[in-house]
Structure 1
């Protein structure tokens, strides 16, 4: 009888550094309470079908106890429902909306800010400082979320974001404003992935797609309506309200969140100073110390090359070389650290992780860059003001939000997410191709219709996140989300500069060809407002049509980059696996 009982008791093997293994008994009750995830033997996840892949096949470190390993990989099941879930969703959605709004609202305010501070030379830093700090800190925040309660870490980053917004709102100089943007970027690094982590802990897997889609739909509204809201504030009140708005709305959401019960996806100890001291060795601060300079040098090279220095200058080349040297050192260190790394290779090398990152990054890059340049087309080419250019983007906004909500609801009901990723990428690729044909004479029906097709991107925005939530163990869920958001933010920072370079170089060439009397540098200094573009030539000048066509051609050239990004997302979508998220995961072959 004892042998029979022992045979029915599963064993959890823990690999030691020397290659030996020790076994520890895990009761059937623990396995059942752990839900649909169970540890898998080494190497078996690669041979299992996509739909049956284990959420976590990483090897635990030898220093960890098997009890801790099991606890980290089992969801608590402490979900929220009813009005409490409604308040929680309101809070994190408000944060998400404000975060996306903050990224784009500044676009229509920058001309007035540079006029007030007499700081046209600093224009690149108004967005660059935010992106620099946000992208650099992003991977470390994912590590923090795996060790500390999501609620208090989220509120901490929210406080930093609010401080940065306040500094921007009351700034008395360009330098003070740039510092405020950098501080806000530090706060934002833990908010976007934090909001998704909070939702993952609050609702079960089968309900996450619809709630994540609702949150991301409002986020997209913030991203795309930002130029409209910023234009209204700048034109009728003051640009400072672009940042003041974060204080009352964020404060209300923060107040609700501070009093709500926010469950964690896995059990975490109560936040104490002793806990914070104990987790510091687990945060891979050495990896962060190597990664941060590499990321900063690379982004600074892009920033300097696009604004202050020639691309072939020693400053830009030196920064690129420095980043190129530091990055391989970072990769070696992360490989050496294993699962304790800031970005564990055991996680990133899983196909669903890097494929989801490609799908999400390609799609979101087309969204970010599109939101940046669509207002330029409507203002510089169509000749409307900041407010009306935002109104002209309503077909894009409304269709995108509807497709996000629709796809989230249908993924929850039908289960499969891969078709929505394919439809989103295909629709965005086609729409970007159609938008690249826009000219000064494009009809109203055409630019409305093409924007509606562009809204198909909403079908796939949450797909990468849903795929990672299903594929990774709860212990790596926050790390996977942070990695995905980092890829998005880093690519947005890079491709915003690339898009701006494509636009300016094309504009310089086209101005010389189509309006020879206009100084190309004056065309760049004019910006994208309707009045400034039309003031480049005397009233009634026959060269006005050439100037407008030059801006239209420059916009169309940027759209070619959007086509490439969306096409990358389309190709990557097919590697995400045919998975039904409605089903409870069953132990795969070889699981115990």
Structure 2
């Protein structure tokens, strides 16, 4: 059989080639467009993958769900320029060490000075309050100071804490009566709560991430040093000068810390306060929660002070104080539960599963670190 003569067909019908080739050209163009679209999509997916797994650089202020400020984690050269360095950083660390040292010193320095204090005021009925007033205010206002550092200027909030602590020390040093000394101790404890919270917040924003743990360790060492020197200095001042110097000594040292922070520390852009209305800022401080827990602790301390001393354990006064302690604490728990994200304690702000999970473990740890000060300080009565 002879092969068909395509040449003759094209000669007879010039349009035959175009008609027969058109489907092939159309299919070829379609396949080319599909390939281009597929290549473009693969390129976009590759770029999205690179972006999603790229290390996050942050020069802005991050906020955890519980309201804790997160310092920037960027580590590049441009970001490192925002941190103080050299002599400025050294001065800032020294100022924070001094502040933490004074706040920690006040926790133990009174113990060995109590005999001289009771001799001057002529009674021992208020001895338990000399330590309890400081620790109660210190533990009760920790969360409020944390919210203050979130919603107000980091630098000026820390200076306000130093001022409150210094005011309390001045009242203690000049106290004419035992009651005045107790009030001064409570004021000093209120300021010490802000010092402890602010010192670690400032060091987080003032030091680069690579050296942050080192400088935080320097600040933390002052706790241990103060706990050792406190009783020694208290006895030294009481025996060779006057017990009032246990508090007067805070004034010049605190002034040095204030001057350093004023002239050498400048809060970075990442530490700018969170924008909120004044009403929201007040609600975040949780004044009702603080009042409830402070009232509960006062009832508990008074119960321990009266029971077996001036009142019998089965007396109406002691029983009433115990009942008041339980009711106030239940009211505090209920209030914190309904506060939601504004709650002072994390476990009240969200439900915690019966079996700890990786996501709930930080909340449980935060709860224990907040609860332990209340227990340890109440046991010192």
TM class by smaller structure: 0.7 to 0.9
Separation in 1 of the partners of 2:66 and 2:192? 32
* Residue 354 of structure 1: aligned partner: 364
Q: Secondary structure at the match of 2:98?
A: helix
Separation in 2 of the partners of 1:214 and 1:59? 27
Separation in 1 of the partners of 2:111 and 2:198? 25
Separation in 1 of the partners of 2:280 and 2:145? 16
Separation in 2 of the partners of 1:33 and 1:122? 54
Instruction: For residue 201 of structure 1, report the CA deviation from its aligned partner.
Output: 2.1
Query: TM-score when scaled to structure 1?
Result: 0.49
Larger deviation, residues 241-250 vs 339-348: 339-348
Q: Secondary structure at the match of 2:56?
A: helix
Q: How many residues align?
A: 326
Separation in 1 of the partners of 2:239 and 2:286? 47
Q: Which has the larger radius of gyration?
A: 2
Structure 1 contact 76–264 (Cα < 8 Å) conserved = no
Aligned pair 1:493/2:377, yes or no? yes
1:97 to 95, 101, 106: 101
1:208 to 208, 212, 224: 212
2:294 to 292, 295, 299: 292
In structure 2, the gaps of 5 or more residues are 1-36, 75-81, 353-359
* Residue 75 of structure 1: aligned partner: 72
Structure 2 contact 299–324 (Cα < 8 Å) conserved = yes
Structure 1 contact 143–342 (Cα < 8 Å) conserved = no
- Output one character per residue of 1:301-351: Cα deviation in whole Å (capped at 9) or x when no partner: 344448654444332332222222222333233233322322233589531
**CA spacing shift, 1:248–1:79, aligned 2, 3 Å:** same
2:113 to 100, 104, 109: 109
- Output one character per residue of 1:241-300: Cα deviation in whole Å (capped at 9) or x when no partner: 1111000111111111122224369542499xx965652233333433433323333344
* Residue 474 of structure 1: aligned partner: none
Q: Secondary structure at the match of 2:141?
A: helix
**CA spacing shift, 1:325–1:32, aligned 2, 3 Å:** same
Q: Secondary structure at the match of 1:34?
A: coil
Structure 2 contact 109–234 (Cα < 8 Å) conserved = yes
**CA spacing shift, 1:313–1:259, aligned 2, 3 Å:** farther
* Residue 250 of structure 2: aligned partner: 246
Q: Secondary structure at the match of 1:85?
A: helix
- Output one character per residue of 1:438-466: Cα deviation in whole Å (capped at 9) or x when no partner: xxxxxxxxxxxxxxxxxxxxxxxxxxxxx
Equivalent positions of 1:506-525 (< 5 A) are none
Instruction: For residue 8 of structure 1, report the CA deviation from its aligned partner.
Output: 8.2
Separation in 1 of the partners of 2:147 and 2:90? 28
- Output one character per residue of 1:39-76: Cα deviation in whole Å (capped at 9) or x when no partner: xxxxxxxxxxxxxxxx95x499xxxxxxxx9xx76727
Structure 1 contact 294–322 (Cα < 8 Å) conserved = yes
**CA spacing shift, 1:198–1:328, aligned 2, 3 Å:** same
* Residue 508 of structure 1: aligned partner: none
Aligned pair 1:263/2:233, yes or no? no
Q: Secondary structure at the match of 2:125?
A: helix
Separation in 2 of the partners of 1:95 and 1:213? 15
Structure 1 contact 75–265 (Cα < 8 Å) conserved = no
Separation in 2 of the partners of 1:317 and 1:264? 53
* Residue 198 of structure 1: aligned partner: 202
In structure 1, the gaps of 5 or more residues are 11-26, 39-54, 61-68, 359-483, 498-592
Larger deviation, residues 186-195 vs 259-268: 259-268
Instruction: For residue 94 of structure 1, report the CA deviation from its aligned partner.
Output: 0.3
Separation in 1 of the partners of 2:200 and 2:215? 10
Structure 1 contact 161–188 (Cα < 8 Å) conserved = yes
Separation in 2 of the partners of 1:329 and 1:5? 59
Separation in 2 of the partners of 1:496 and 1:331? 24
Instruction: For residue 115 of structure 1, report the CA deviation from its aligned partner.
Output: 0.6
* Residue 139 of structure 1: aligned partner: 143
- Output one character per residue of 1:121-176: Cα deviation in whole Å (capped at 9) or x when no partner: 22112112222222222222222222222221111111111111111111222222
RMSD: 3.7
Q: Secondary structure at the match of 1:171?
A: coil
Structure 2 contact 165–191 (Cα < 8 Å) conserved = yes
* Residue 390 of structure 1: aligned partner: none
**CA spacing shift, 1:5–1:239, aligned 2, 3 Å:** farther
Separation in 1 of the partners of 2:350 and 2:208? 22
Structure 1 contact 135–490 (Cα < 8 Å) conserved = yes
1:85 to 85, 89, 113: 89
